[in-house]
């Protein structure tokens, strides 16, 4: 077990390192540079040289990279060229917001997908099953930028149930915060529901045909017990695996929702930073996202062992 953890940790370090190098190279390859954004019309040769000196952008690329990496080891991710906000701060405020958005959306997705799958898998191809299979899959055709404006028009502007944009920090008012996060979370939930429901339903259907379920039934166990205790656990592997990849994709992938709802998350900050050539912000966020991804995969792997302790790792 210890060996496994060490291996995982090493993997995390290696992946994070490779991603930071890739990211560094990619953003530096982009046409345009921060001086254009910072200086605008004053981007003359002289001013540019002064600024590059100030920002350390005049050094060779590999040196810039190692300077950055050295600072990272001291817990310093640098600061934005534009507003001088520390990258650590950007990450520290943005990451929890993304995380909350992801958690709420995933809770909703699981909350809809699991019960629905448990109910419909018992009677496949009945009306309820057909309707839910069809409608959830159709959700894949509704990207967040279609769902969001429609929901805002109905639930915010029309019914005044939710705010159209913005949120109150969780620390300030947890209830209000959850309320404010509902629309943005719902906008990214649709795709997850479809995928989770589909996977769980088909796995449950196969599991329910397994002999041990039949045996459990013959022992006279109730439906509820059978579904939850006996069928759900062995059927949740695909679900977990899909959740891992899906959550990975949502990390910094929620930029459209963040943009629309004016939420200060990592995704929109990352896209903005790439477009403004704010290199250090891009690198910092990419690093954190990569680490988070590896950690999430790690948690998922751990959950596999919880679901079925006999899972062996080759």
Partner 1 sequence: MTSGNELSRRSFLSRGAATGGLVMLGAAGASVLAGCSSSPSTSSSTTAASSSGGKPGVNTGTPKKGGSVTIGTLAEIDGFFPPSNHWDTNGFLYANAVYDPLMWVAADGTVQPYLAKSLTPNADFTVWTMTLRSGVKFSDGSDLTSTVVKNNFTALAASALTGTALKGIASVDTPNPLTVVYNLSAPRPAFAAGLTSQVGYVVGQAMLDQTAAGKTPTPIGTGPFIYSSWQPNDHFTATKNPHYWRSGLPYLDQVTFKPIPDDTQRAATLKTGGVDLILTNDPVTIKAFTGSSQYQLVDSLTDSIGEPTVAFVMLNTAVAPTNDLRVRQALAKSLDVKQILKIFGGGYTKAINGLFQPGSPFYVSDTGYPKYDLAGAKALVNQYKAEHGTPTLTLTTVTDPRLESLVQIIQQMWNQVGFDISVASIQQATLITDFITGKFQAATSYQFGAVDPDLNYVWFSTTTVSPVGSIGLNFPRNSDPQIEFSLQSGRTSSSQSTREVAYKKLNQRLAADLPYLWLEQYPFAMVGDQRVQNFAGLTLPSGAAGYGFDEGIIFPSQIWLNG
Partner 2 sequence: MPDDRELADTRNSGRLLSDQVPGLAAVDELVVSRQSESLDSDDIMVSKPMGVLFWLAIGWVGLVVVMAVLANVLPLPNPNFQNYSAINAPPSVHHLLGTDDLGRDLFSRLVFGARVSLIVGFVSVTIGMLIGGTLGLISGYKGGRLDVALNAGSFVLLAFPAIVAVIAILAFWGQSLFKITVILSIAVVPLLYRVVRASSLAFANREFVIAARTLGAKSSRIVFREILPNVIPVAVTFGLITVAGVIVIEGSLAFLGLSVPAPTASWGNMISEGTSNGTLNINPYVMLWPVLSMFLLLLSINLIGDRLRQRFDIREGLL
Report the residue number, 244 or 253, with the smaller CB distance to partner 1. Answer: 253
Give the closest residue to 195 by CA, choosing from 148, 262, 249: 249
Give the closest residue to 169 by CA, choosing from 234, 115, 100, 259: 100
φ and ψ of 79, to 5 deg: -140, 160
| 105 is a contact residue toward partner 2 (CB under 8 A) | no
| Chain residues 268-297 in contact with partner 1, contact rule CB under 8 A | 268-269, 271-272, 275-277
φ and ψ of 86, to 5 deg: -70, 140
Binding mask 70-109 for partner 1 (x = CB under 8 A): ---------x--xxxx----x--x----------------
Binding mask 70-89 for partner 2 (x = CB under 8 A): --------------------
Bridge partners for 79 per DSSP: 86
List of long-range contacts for 34-39, beta carbons under 8 Å, 24+ apart = 34/81, 34/82, 34/276, 34/277, 34/278, 34/279, 36/277, 37/81, 37/82, 37/276, 37/277, 37/278, 38/81, 38/82
| 52 is a contact residue toward partner 2 (CB under 8 A) | no
Token pair for residue 162?
């939710």
| 166 is a contact residue toward partner 1 (CB under 8 A) | yes
Stretch binding partner 2 (CB under 8 A), from 52-60, 149-157, 166-174, 175-183 = 149-157
| 262 is a contact residue toward partner 2 (CB under 8 A) | no
| Chain residues 194-213 in contact with partner 2, contact rule CB under 8 A | 195, 199, 201-203, 205-213
| Chain residues 38-57 in contact with partner 1, contact rule CB under 8 A | 38-48, 50-51
Stretch binding partner 2 (CB under 8 A), from 44-52, 78-86, 166-174, 305-313 = 305-313
| 229 is a contact residue toward partner 2 (CB under 8 A) | no
| 240 is a contact residue toward partner 2 (CB under 8 A) | yes
Bridge partners for 86 per DSSP: 79
Q: From partner 2, partner 1, none, which one binds at residue 123 (CB under 5 to 8 Å depending on kind)?
A: partner 2
Helix (H, G, I), strand (E, B) or coil at 79: strand
Helix (H, G, I), strand (E, B) or coil at 86: strand
Q: How far is CA 65 from CA 60, 173, 276, 286, in A?
A: 9, 41, 19, 14
Report the residue number, 32 or 111, with the smaller CB distance to partner 1. Answer: 32
Q: How far is CA 76 from CA 112, 273, 284, in A?
A: 41, 18, 10
Report the residue number, 134 or 172, with the smaller CB distance to partner 2. Answer: 134
Q: From partner 2, partner 1, none, which one binds at residue 298 (CB under 5 to 8 Å depending on kind)?
A: none
Cα 88 from Cα 75, distance rounded (Å): 8
Q: From partner 1, partner 2, none, which one binds at residue 42 (CB under 5 to 8 Å depending on kind)?
A: partner 1
Report the residue number, 230 or 277, with the smaller CB distance to partner 1. Answer: 277
Token pair for residue 125?
């191809």
Cα 149 from Cα 256, distance rounded (Å): 11
| 256 is a contact residue toward partner 2 (CB under 8 A) | yes
Instruction: Provide the binding-site residues for partner 1, judged by CB under 8 A.
Output: 31-33, 36-48, 50-51, 79, 82-85, 90, 93, 145, 149, 152-153, 156-157, 160, 163-166, 255-256, 259-262, 264, 268-269, 271-272, 275-277
């Amino acid at each position: 077990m210890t060996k496994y953890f060490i291996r995982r940790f090493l993997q995390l370090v290696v992946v994070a390192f490779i991603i930071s190098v890739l990211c560094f190279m990619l953003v530096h390859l982009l046409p345009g540079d921060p001086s254009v954004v910072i200086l605008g019309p004053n981007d003359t040769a002289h001013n540019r040289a002064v600024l590059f000196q100030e920002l350390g952008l005049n050094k060779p690329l590999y040196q810039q990279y190692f300077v950055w990496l050295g600072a990272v080891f001291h817990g310093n991710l640098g600061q934005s060229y534009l507003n001088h906000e520390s990258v650590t701060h950007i990450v520290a405020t943005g990451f929890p917001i993304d995380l909350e958005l992801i958690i709420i959306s995933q809770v909703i997705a699981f909350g809809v997908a699991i019960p629905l799958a448990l109910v419909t898998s018992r009677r496949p191809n009945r009306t309820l099953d057909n309707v839910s299979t069809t409608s959830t899959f159709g959700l894949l055709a509704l990207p967040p930028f279609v769902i969001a404006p429609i929901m805002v028009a109905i639930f915010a502007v029309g019914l005044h149930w939710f705010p159209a944009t913005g949120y109150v920090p969780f620390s300030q008012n947890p209830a209000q915060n959850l309320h404010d996060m509902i629309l943005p979370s719902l906008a990214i939930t649709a795709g997850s529901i479809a995928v989770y429901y589909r996977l769980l339903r088909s796995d449950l259907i196969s599991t329910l045909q397994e002999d041990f379920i039949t045996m459990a039934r013959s022992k006279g166990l109730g439906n509820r017990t059978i579904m939850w205790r006996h069928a759900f656990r062995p059927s949740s592997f695909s679900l977990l695996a899909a959740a891992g990849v899906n959550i990975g994709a949502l990390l910094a992938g929620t930029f459209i929702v963040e943009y629309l709802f004016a939420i200060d998350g990592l995704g929109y900050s990352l896209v903005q930073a790439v477009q403004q050539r704010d290199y250090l912000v891009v690198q910092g966020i990419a690093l954190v996202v990569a680490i988070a991804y590896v950690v999430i995969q790690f948690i998922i792997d751990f959950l596999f062992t919880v679901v079925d302790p006999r899972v062996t790792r080759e």
